[in-house]
Amino acid sequence: MYTIGSIIAFDPLKVSRDYVDDIRGKIRSEFVVKCWESIRNKIVCILVHYIPNLADEVEKILHFIENIKVDCSPLRRMVTGVIEDVKKLNHLESSLSLMMSLKQRALEIEKLKVQLKNYEALEEEASRSFSTTHAEITKIKE
């Protein structure tokens, strides 16, 4: 923009460049939003345990965005945060699962101990009954 006396004149090339830069900025922003929507849709559609498996694909998308000179650091932080949270959730869940299986094993062992005591009692009773029966048979034979 420049002035000729009191008249303000616009430089058409400058206006055009500003307009083009503005359009580029909008397109880049919309592109980043579309990329995020794509990533978000994949995250939403996949089972939680498998979200960390998307890390490589997400990294490729973010790298591509960065190559077109768009700052995707907020998007990178958000997606990385989601993936890290899911990794923590998976670790916590596996720890709980291990603890539950240990608790279940302990309960099974207790059940087996009770069954073993019952079998020992039955064995003792059978042994007494056998001894009594054997003694009676011996008396009958004599």
Answer whether residue 55 is part of any domain. yes
- Whether residue 114 is contained in a domain is answered as yes
List, run by run, the mean pLDDT of 10-residue segments along the chain (142 residues).
50 66 78 80 80 82 74 77 84 77 80 80 78 77 68
Q: Considering the domain boundaries, does residue 69 fall inside one?
A: yes
> Residue 71 belongs to what domain range?
26-124
Closest to 36 (Cα-Cα) out of 67, 88, 74, 68? 74
CA 120 to CA 51: how far, in whole Å? 52
pLDDT in tens, 26-40: 887 787 778 778 888
Report yes or no on whether pTM surpasses 0.85.
no
Alpha helices in 5-72 (DSSP H): 12-45, 55-67
Is the residue at 2 inside a domain? Answer: no
Count of structural domains within the chain = 1
- Residue 10 inside a domain? The answer is no
Q: What is the pLDDT of residue 81?
A: 83
Residue 56 lies in a domain: yes
pLDDT of residue 1: 47
- Does some domain include residue 8? no
Residue 48 lies in a domain: yes
CA distance readout (Å), 74 to 23, 87, 100, 126: 21, 20, 38, 77
**Phi then psi dihedrals of residue 3, to 5 deg:** -110, 140
